Every structure is written in structure tokens, then in C-alpha cells.
Amino acid sequence: MRRTTVMLPDDLKTRAVLRARKLGISLGELIRSSLKDSAGKGARGEATDTMYDDAAIYRGPAPRDLSDRHDAYLYGDEG
């Protein structure tokens, strides 16, 4: 690991310290964990964001008007 200095507003540091104490971890671990969750792995489809997890589910043919009528497909026709 490399040491990094980060400037934080006083209120943010206070909240972070309190959160780390509540979780029973160090401030450094809280920051590392938060950055890991925020930054993901970097490449599209590899990030921790669940939006990218659906790629395998939605393969194959789809209606040509799906982007125009997505609400109708998701929630049913209202008309």
C-alpha cells in the first residue's frame, strides 16, 4: 500500500471517524472500502455497480420499439 494525504472538511472527517468507530474499523479502512466501492474495478462491465450485472440477462432478440416504449414493456400498456 501507498500512503496518501487527503484534505477533508472538518465535518466530513468527524462523520467518517464516527462511522468507522461504529463499524469497529479504522478510518483508513473506511476510506479504502468507500473508495473501492466508488471506483469499482474500472472497466465497463467489471465495476461493482449492479447496473452492469444485467448484461448476461438481456442478450438476444428484443422488440425494435423497446427504447421508445420501455414503460409499456415494464409496466404494461395504459391505453
DSSP string, 5-18: -----HHHHHHHHH
40 within a domain of the structure (yes/no): yes
Q: Is residue 25 part of a domain?
A: yes
- The answer to whether position 74 is within a domain reads no
Please, are residues 52 and 62 in contact by the beta-carbon 8 Å criterion?
no
Q: What pTM was computed for the model?
A: 0.51
Express each pLDDT in 55-64 by its tens digit. 566 667 888 8
Total residue length of the chain: 79
Domain for residue 3, yes or no? no
Q: Does 69 map to a domain?
A: no
**77 within domain boundaries:** no
In angstroms, the CA 65 to CA 43 distance is 29
Q: Cell numbers at residue 70, please? A: 420501455
pLDDT in tens, 10-56: 999 999 999 999 999 999 999 999 998 888 765 555 555 666 666 56
Query: For residue 51, what are the domain limits?
Result: 8-56
Contact 20, 27 (CB under 8 A): yes
Q: Structural domain tally of the chain?
A: 1
